[in-house]
């Protein structure tokens, strides 16, 4: 159906030239889900743009993009209009941004149906309702009249899918459809695409940076690196025994909830100005030799009779993925350290029954972001905080940093109070500024956390200013921390927009470290980074978190990254701690239904997910839930009873961990029953 | 610029398909900036070299030749007092450019400070400052300028203050809005948690980052300032005779233009036009470039 042959795209703009794609060849057949994976800058979105005839200005394209035997690159406007919508439809990464904000989603869907399918108004509306139902939208009739901003992220992506499938396209393209969605939703959304392929025989092209998460629903995967296809083949084989060193690097960079160590690959993807004459991965590849640097490998089948599994490499790897690398990987930092015993040393961070309510500026309402969180963290300890978006993770970070005051309860860092609160007095002036530098934050957005018009050197030295160090001392300290981050001195004179994401995050960590604080809070430090860069940064963080005299808080929506180096973990749900305990205990033996659901949704290598058969499936999207009284999970929990709805749940000890659910002892039996009668 | 080609030959697979565009906006912006900067530099050079380029002094009177037409001893003729139009036009460029630039500079400094403080601290301070700004902005600019000028009286310094006063509120608003959105960005939190004082956050982080829109608006504003100055002078509230200023010259010659002696008002009018056009082109160009970068 779709066949891309030797597609090359060169983008020429005044002053720069980018070889976005070089000789890309692959096909999508009806009823097949093909995953297009690689890191940003690899050319994934450019492929999608070529397929829908939306190449950017200044593009010089060669090769062919054949769709039902006509070349999309050479279609006239009329043919393109018919091709888009009926032939190909696309789901964008940011569904709320891709939906028009001033028309109800129902109208937008009806518009499409009446334009492309020539349906009459009433019939189109009926069809729209059915489409909404098909993608799993509850009470579709009501949702038809909703505006984009009234929908949750997951709901908006479902609407997007219904828009895309509504015109019965032969090919459905999804550009990072689940990036930004929570783990419990990701699987559900991906299943919708599998469903579209299975029941309607559509071709689906699923674009993602995360091979492991989409592998489950893909028939075949195509791996892009620097605009070239390095490996393509059946998903199962590529995932289990990837033959190309880059595919292996991609997979090993992803942390796994099972605790498999991450192996970092040094370097970053090159930005090519012309089609490569050698292997583009040569500078980062452990197997590279002179041949790789001199010639570009051609795309060959991996082995005779290996189906359509092919790759472009002079040194195909044959061992299963788990076999190599484990010897070279550093041990998880948390595991090696002595288990810190809270109580013996003075606690660095103490949070006592803290509530945070964000008052709405108009009216009397407010958003209750944290509902009674109690935490204690000693030196050398690393605490992992996990939960989905909206659970209060970032509020917790801001609370610890003194950027938001608790509405009730207290927070102290190293015995000092950073905010106005009842009880401990807050220092003033210079003393407050010094107290602030004792706790440092590493931000989610590495480039945004650096002042755009100040040099990198200036940003790193910021905490030292407050400490009142002389310029000479500042220079020396900055140089030392730069060495630890393995950054070159020349970077000090640069500005944030000149940095890559990985460099910027190293700078962010350097700034956090330079004042030797007592506590560092990492707020989703790797979620904005590419997979192989993420692995590099995780290695840096693991090293930093292992410092004995310092405590760390690592906040993430991704359970697997937390497992790497946390000693203890807390699971947050709608502002409450629902489970807490040593990291291995919580991950291997989760107690709370929510923790079980989270772990069950997390992707694992090999295509299987979670602890099989024991996964809990939550019944609704997060934003449909209401946590006014009783257990916060009551609206979504499959094991809910009247007691759950009525009674506030407190943390109770179950073995080494604590969970806020009274039904924990009964759960294994209940889950077993659920598996039998779905 | 490359054309969108729809290849129809049998050999289509080898011919590259070229998509046009991608750089038009930034090139157009560059041309605007060059045009505006050229006009303004010519005027600035002329203003600086006025004593060398003008055959007569700024206020020198040739009593024998009042209201003579262009040519002869007087390149563009003389006005009713016998002063040389060409020479006065050149000298006027100094005063016009000087007052406009000084007034806009003052407006930028005052407005930016107010905006920074109001935007960063918020609360009652913000409310008070912004209500004052509201009061200023609730009058039509020129009417307000008339009122302030009448209140302060004549004089170069007073004119600068007047024009700055009517323009500063716009900068205060602009910078305040910018600061309020910047304040939500992580780098401000990063500065605070790194122990920076309020002054440090404002001065070293928010100020440099909030000036981007100011840089775009200020050149446009210079054009408006110049028009305000000329308007005030035309109405007798600005620069007064015998000092050379375009608006005052136009005003002085207005009666004579009716009598067919166009040279008294038209040349200073054209000079004013060129100058305002220069600032507009420069401002538009900078704005387009900023927009192109943002995309």
Return the HEC string of A473-537.
HHHHHHHHHHHHCCCCHHHHHCCHHHCCHHHHHHHHHHHHHHCCCCEEEEECCCCCCCHHHHHHH
Return the closest-CA partner of residue B218 out of B295, B164, B154. B164
Residues B19, A451: C-beta atoms closer than 8 Å? no
Given a contact cutoff of 8 angstroms between Cβ atoms, the answer to whether B246 and B272 are in contact is: yes
pLDDT band of residue A241 (cuts 50, 70, 90) is confident
Residues A74, B12: C-beta atoms closer than 8 Å? yes
Chain B residues in contact with A71 (beta carbon < 8 A): 12-13
pLDDT at A33: 93
CA distance A66 to chain B (A): 11
Chain B residues in contact with A75 (beta carbon < 8 A): 6
CA A144 to chain centre: 29
Encoding tokens for residue B218? 């200020």
Return the closest-CA partner of residue A372 out of A648, A633, A586. A648
pLDDT at B19: 79
CA A143 to CA A151: how far, in whole Å? 8
- Rounded mean pLDDT, A422-450: 87
Residues B20, A57: C-beta atoms closer than 8 Å? yes
Whether B1 shows a pLDDT value over 60: the answer reads no
Chain B residues in contact with A401 (beta carbon < 8 A): 189, 193
Whether A622 shows a pLDDT value over 60: the answer reads no
Residues A58, B187: C-beta atoms closer than 8 Å? no
Please state whether beta strands A349-359 and A366-377 pair in parallel, antiparallel, or not at all (unpaired). antiparallel
Chain B residues in contact with A57 (beta carbon < 8 A): 19-23
Residues B186, A448: C-beta atoms closer than 8 Å? yes
Beta bridge mates, A70: A67
Count of other CB atoms within 10 angstroms of residue B124: 8
Asked whether the ipTM of the predicted complex exceeds the cut of 0.90, the reply is no
Chain B residues in contact with A439 (beta carbon < 8 A): 193
CA distance B207 to chain A (A): 10
pLDDT at A326: 41
User: Most A CBs within 10 Å: which of B178, B183, B187, as the mutation test of the A interface?
Assistant: B187
pLDDT at B75: 79
Encoding tokens for residue B70? 């262009």
Encoding tokens for residue A218? 């893909």
Residues B189, A443: C-beta atoms closer than 8 Å? yes
Q: What separation in angstroms does the CA of B19 have from each of A13, A55, A227, B23?
A: 11, 7, 19, 12
Whether A210 shows a pLDDT value over 90: the answer reads no
* A58-110 pLDDT tens trace: 888 999 999 988 899 988 888 888 888 778 988 887 888 888 889 999 899 89
Which of A222-236, A275-289, B105-119 is most confident?
Answer: B105-119
- Complete DSSP assignment for A3-53: EEEEEEEEEEETTEEEEEEEEEEEEE-TT-EEEEE--TTSSHHHHHHHHTT
CA distance A522 to chain B (A): 12
Nearest CA in chain B to A449: B187
pLDDT band of residue A607 (cuts 50, 70, 90) is very low
CA B112 to CA B173: how far, in whole Å? 9
Those residues with Cβ within 8 angstroms of residue B206's Cβ, 6 or more apart along the chain or in another chain:
B116, B119, B120, B179, B182, B183, B188
pLDDT at B53: 84
pLDDT band of residue A615 (cuts 50, 70, 90) is low
Nearest Cβ partner for B19 among A57, A64, A466:
A57
| Portion 399-458 of A in contact with B at CB < 8 A | 401-403, 433-434, 436-437, 439-441, 443-445, 448-454, 458
Residues B186, A443: C-beta atoms closer than 8 Å? yes
CA distance B112 to chain A (A): 17
- Complete DSSP assignment for chain B: -PPP----STTTTTSPEE---SSHHHHHHHHHHHHHHHHHHHHHHHHHTHHHH-SS-SS-B-TT-SSPPSBTTBTT-B-TT-BBHHHHHHHHHHHHHHHHHHHHHHHHHHHHHHHHHHHHH-HHHHHHHHHHHHHHHTS-HHHHHHHHHHHH-SSHHHHHHHHHHHHHHHHHHHHHHHHHHHTTSHHHHHHHHTT--HHHIIIIIIHHHH-HHHHHHHHHHHHHHHHHHHHHHHTTSSS-TTS--HHHHHHHHHHHHHTT-GGGTHHHHHHHHHHHHHHHHHHHHHHHHHHHHH-
CA A521 to CA A541: how far, in whole Å? 11
Encoding tokens for residue B271? 């000079």
Number of CB pairs < 8 Å for A and B?
Answer: 122
Sort A277 into a burial class: Cβ within 10 Å, 0-12 / 13-18 / 19+: exposed
Return the closest-CA partner of residue A325 out of A264, A382, A271. A264
- Rounded mean pLDDT, B188-194: 92
Please state whether beta strands A382-386 and A551-556 pair in parallel, antiparallel, or not at all (unpaired). parallel
CA distance A60 to chain B (A): 5
Nearest Cβ partner for B204 among A62, A64, A454:
A454
Q: What separation in angstroms does the CA of B80 have from each of A496, B70, B92?
A: 62, 14, 17
* B114-172 pLDDT tens trace: 999 999 998 899 999 999 999 988 988 888 888 888 888 878 888 899 999 999 999 99
The more confidently predicted of residues A14 and A541 is A541
Range of lowest pLDDT (A63-67, A319-323, B74-78)? A319-323
CA distance A9 to chain B (A): 9
Chain A residues in contact with B203 (beta carbon < 8 A): none
- Rounded mean pLDDT, A167-171: 85
Q: Is the dihedral of CA B51, B52, B54, B56 positive or negative?
A: positive
Chain A residues in contact with B195 (beta carbon < 8 A): 433-434, 436-437, 462-463, 465-467, 515
Whether A624 shows a pLDDT value over 70: the answer reads no
- Complete DSSP assignment for A3-14: EEEEEEEEEEET
Average pLDDT over chain A reads 83
Nearest Cβ partner for B195 among A61, A64, A433:
A433
Report the share of chain A in percent with pLDDT over 90: 23
pLDDT band of residue A25 (cuts 50, 70, 90) is very high
CA A226 to CA A21: how far, in whole Å? 7
- Rounded mean pLDDT, A166-194: 83
Q: Is the dihedral of CA A474, A475, A480, A485 positive or negative?
A: positive
* A370-407 pLDDT tens trace: 888 999 998 889 999 998 877 888 899 999 999 988 98
pLDDT at A136: 78
Nearest CA in chain B to A401: B193
pLDDT at B237: 84
Beta bridge mates, A625: none
CA distance A440 to chain B (A): 6
pTM: 0.82
Return the closest-CA partner of residue A460 out of A415, A492, A486. A492
pLDDT band of residue A47 (cuts 50, 70, 90) is very high
pLDDT at A360: 66
Greatest C-alpha distance within chain B: 85
pLDDT at B51: 84
**Dihedral angle computed from the Cα positions of residues B203, B208, B209 and B210, in that order, rounded to the nearest 10 degrees:** 80
- Tokens 């028309």 correspond to A103
Whether B6 shows a pLDDT value over 50: the answer reads no
- Rounded mean pLDDT, A447-467: 91
CA B47 to CA B97: how far, in whole Å? 8
Q: Convert A428-464 into a string of H (helix), E (strand) and C (coil).
A: CHHHHHHHHCCEEEECCCCCCCCCCCCCHHHHHHHHH
pLDDT band of residue A201 (cuts 50, 70, 90) is confident
Chain A residues in contact with B23 (beta carbon < 8 A): 13-14, 57-58
- Rounded mean pLDDT, A588-598: 89
pLDDT band of residue A339 (cuts 50, 70, 90) is very low
CA distance A364 to chain B (A): 18
Count of other CB atoms within 10 angstroms of residue B284: 19
Which of A238-242, A396-400, A560-564, B85-89 is most confident?
Answer: A396-400
Residues B208, A14: C-beta atoms closer than 8 Å? no
Chain A residues in contact with B12 (beta carbon < 8 A): 71, 74
pLDDT at A338: 46
- Rounded mean pLDDT, A618-640: 71
Nearest CA in chain A to B23: A13
CA B112 to CA B101: how far, in whole Å? 16
CA B69 to CA B79: how far, in whole Å? 9
* A568-581 pLDDT tens trace: 999 998 888 999 99
CA distance B10 to chain A (A): 12
Encoding tokens for residue A606? 């090999």
Residues B16, A62: C-beta atoms closer than 8 Å? yes
pLDDT band of residue A361 (cuts 50, 70, 90) is low
- Rounded mean pLDDT, A359-368: 67
User: Most B CBs within 10 Å: which of A64, A436, A451, A508, as the mutation test of the B interface?
Assistant: A451
CA distance B202 to chain A (A): 12
Q: What separation in angstroms does the CA of B109 have from each of B171, B183, B280, B282?
A: 9, 20, 21, 21
CA B178 to CA B209: how far, in whole Å? 9
Nearest Cβ partner for A436 among B6, B21, B193:
B193
Q: Which residues of B29-44 are buried (b: 16+ CB within 10 A; e: fewer)?
A: beebbebbeebbeebb
Q: Does A71 touch chain B (CB under 8 A)?
A: yes
CA A493 to CA A33: how far, in whole Å? 47
Q: Does A56 touch chain B (CB under 8 A)?
A: yes
Given a contact cutoff of 8 angstroms between Cβ atoms, the answer to whether A580 and A570 are in contact is: yes
pLDDT at B293: 65
Chain B residues in contact with A74 (beta carbon < 8 A): 6-8, 12, 17
Sort B70 into a burial class: Cβ within 10 Å, 0-12 / 13-18 / 19+: middle
Residues A403, B192: C-beta atoms closer than 8 Å? yes
* A415-434 pLDDT tens trace: 888 888 777 778 888 888 88
pLDDT band of residue A562 (cuts 50, 70, 90) is confident
Question: Residues A444, A445, A451, CA angle at the centre, nearest 5°?
Answer: 130
Residues B194, A466: C-beta atoms closer than 8 Å? yes
Residues A452, B189: C-beta atoms closer than 8 Å? no
Whether A335 shows a pLDDT value over 50: the answer reads no
Helix (H, G, I), strand (E, B) or coil at A171: strand
- Rounded mean pLDDT, A267-296: 86
CA A588 to CA A604: how far, in whole Å? 14
Q: Does A52 touch chain B (CB under 8 A)?
A: no
What phi, psi does A88 have (nearest 5°)? -130, 140
- Rounded mean pLDDT, A648-672: 84
The more confidently predicted of residues A153 and A310 is A310
**Contacts of A123-131 spanning 24+ positions with Cβ under 8 A:** A127/A166, A128/A162, A128/A166, A131/A162, A131/A165, A131/A166
Residues A13, B23: C-beta atoms closer than 8 Å? yes
């Amino acid at each position: 159906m779709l066949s891309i042959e030797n597609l090359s795209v060169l983008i020429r703009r005044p002053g720069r030239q980018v070889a976005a794609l070089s000789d890309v060849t692959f096909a999508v057949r009806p009823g097949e889900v093909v995953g297009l994976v690689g890191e940003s800058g690899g050319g994934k979105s450019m492929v999608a743009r070529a397929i829908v005839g939306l190449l950017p200005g200044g593009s010089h394209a060669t090769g062919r993009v054949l769709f039902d035997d006509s070349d999309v690159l050479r279609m006239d406007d009329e043919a393109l209009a018919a091709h888009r919508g009926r032939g190909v439809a696309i789901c964008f990464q940011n569904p709320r941004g891709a939906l028009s904000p001033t028309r109800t989603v129902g109208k937008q869907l009806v518009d499409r149906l009446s334009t492309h399918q020539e349906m009459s108004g009433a019939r189109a509306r009926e069809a729209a309702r059915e489409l909404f139902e098909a993608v799993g939208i509850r009470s579709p009739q009501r949702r038809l009249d909703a505006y984009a901003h009234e929908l949750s992220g997951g709901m908006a992506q479902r609407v997007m899918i219904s828009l895309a499938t509504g015109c019965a396209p032969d090919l459905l393209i999804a550009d990072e459809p689940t990036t930004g969605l929570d783990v419990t939703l990701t699987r559900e959304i991906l299943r919708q695409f599998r469903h579209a392929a299975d029941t309607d025989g559509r071709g689906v092209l699923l674009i993602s940076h995360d091979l492991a998460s989409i592998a489950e629903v893909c028939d075949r995967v195509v791996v892009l690196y620097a605009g070239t296809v390095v490996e393509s083949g059946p998903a199962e084989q590529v995932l289990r025994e990837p033959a190309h060193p880059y595919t292996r690097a991609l997979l090993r960079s992803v942390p796994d909830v099972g605790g498999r160590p991450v192996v970092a690959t040094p370097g970053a993807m090159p930005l090519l100005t012309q089609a490569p004459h050698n292997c583009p991965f040569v500078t980062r590849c452990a197997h590279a030799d002179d041949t790789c640097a001199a010639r570009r490998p051609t795309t060959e089948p991996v082995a005779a009779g290996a189906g359509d599994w092919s790759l472009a490499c002079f040194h195909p790897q044959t061992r299963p993925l788990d076999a190599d690398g484990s010897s070279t990987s550093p041990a998880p930092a948390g595991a090696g350290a002595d288990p810190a015993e809270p109580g013996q040393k003075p606690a660095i961070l103490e949070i006592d029954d803290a509530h945070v309510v964000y008052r709405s500026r108009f009216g009397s309402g407010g958003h209750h972001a944290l509902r009674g969180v109690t935490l204690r963290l000693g030196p050398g300890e690393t605490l992992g905080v996990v939960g989905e978006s909206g659970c209060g993770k970032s509020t917790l970070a801001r609370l610890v940093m003194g950027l938001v005051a608790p509405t009730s309860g207290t927070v102290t860092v190293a015995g000092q109070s950073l905010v106005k609160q009842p009880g401990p007095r807050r220092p003033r002036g210079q003393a407050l500024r010094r107290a602030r530098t004792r706790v440092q934050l590493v931000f989610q957005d590495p480039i945004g956390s650096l002042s755009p018009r100040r040099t990198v050197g200036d940003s790193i030295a910021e905490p030292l200013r407050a400490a009142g160090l002389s310029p000479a001392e500042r220079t020396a300290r900055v140089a030392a921390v730069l060495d630890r981050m393995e950054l070159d001195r020349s970077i000090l004179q640069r500005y944030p927009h000149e940095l890559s994401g990985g460099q910027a995050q190293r700078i962010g960590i350097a700034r956090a470290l330079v004042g030797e604080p007592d506590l560092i809070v990492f707020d989703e430090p790797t979620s904005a980074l590419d997979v192989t860069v993420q692995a590099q940064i995780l290695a840096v963080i693991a090293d930093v978190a292992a410092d004995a005299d310092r405590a760390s808080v690592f906040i993430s929506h991704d359970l697997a990254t937390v497992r790497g180096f946390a000693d203890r973990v807390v699971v947050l749900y709608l502002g409450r701690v629902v489970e807490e305990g040593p990291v291995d205990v919580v991950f291997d033996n989760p107690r709370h239904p929510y923790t079980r659901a989270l772990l069950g949704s997390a992707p694992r290598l090999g295509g299987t997910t979670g602890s099989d058969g024991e996964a809990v499936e939550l019944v609704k999207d997060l934003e449909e839930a209401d946590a006014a009284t009783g257990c916060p999970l009551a609206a979504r929990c499959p094991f809910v009873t009247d007691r759950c709805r009525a009674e506030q749940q407190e943390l109770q000890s179950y073995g080494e961990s604590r969970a806020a659910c009274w039904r924990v002892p009964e759960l294994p039996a209940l889950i077993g029953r659920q598996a039998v009668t779905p | 610029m490359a054309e969108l080609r729809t290849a129809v030959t049998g050999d289509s697979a080898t011919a590259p398909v070229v998509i046009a565009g991608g750089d038009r906006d930034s090139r157009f912006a560059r041309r605007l900036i060059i045009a505006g900067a050229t006009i303004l530099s010519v005027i600035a050079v002329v203003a600086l070299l006025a004593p060398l380029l003008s055959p007569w002094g700024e206020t020198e009177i040739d009593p024998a030749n009042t209201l003579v037409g262009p040519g002869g001893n007087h390149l563009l003729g003389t006005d009713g007092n016998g002063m040389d139009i060409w020479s006065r036009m050149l000298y006027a460029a100094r005063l016009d450019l000087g007052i406009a630039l000084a007034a806009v500079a003052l407006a930028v400094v005052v407005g930016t400070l107010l905006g920074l403080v109001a935007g960063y601290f918020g609360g009652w301070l913000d409310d008070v400052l912004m209500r004052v700004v509201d009061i200023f902005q609730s009058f039509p600019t020129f009417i307000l300028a008339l009122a302030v000028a009448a209140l302060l009286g004549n004089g170069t310094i007073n004119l600068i203050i007047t024009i700055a006063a009517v323009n500063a509120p716009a900068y205060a608003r602009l910078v305040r809005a910018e600061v309020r959105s910047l304040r939500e960005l992580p780098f401000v939190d990063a500065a605070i948690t790194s122990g920076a004082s309020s002054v440090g956050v404002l001065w070293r982080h928010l100020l440099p980052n909030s000036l981007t829109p100011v840089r775009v608006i200020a050149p446009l504003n210079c054009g408006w300032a110049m028009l305000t100055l000329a308007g005030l002078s035309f109405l007798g509230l600005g620069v007064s005779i015998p000092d050379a200023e375009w608006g005052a010259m136009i005003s002085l010659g207005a009666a004579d233009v009716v009598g067919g002696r166009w040279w008294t008002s038209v040349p200073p009018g054209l000079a004013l036009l060129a100058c305002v056009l220069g600032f507009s082109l420069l401002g538009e160009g900078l704005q387009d470039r900023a927009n192109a970068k943002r995309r």
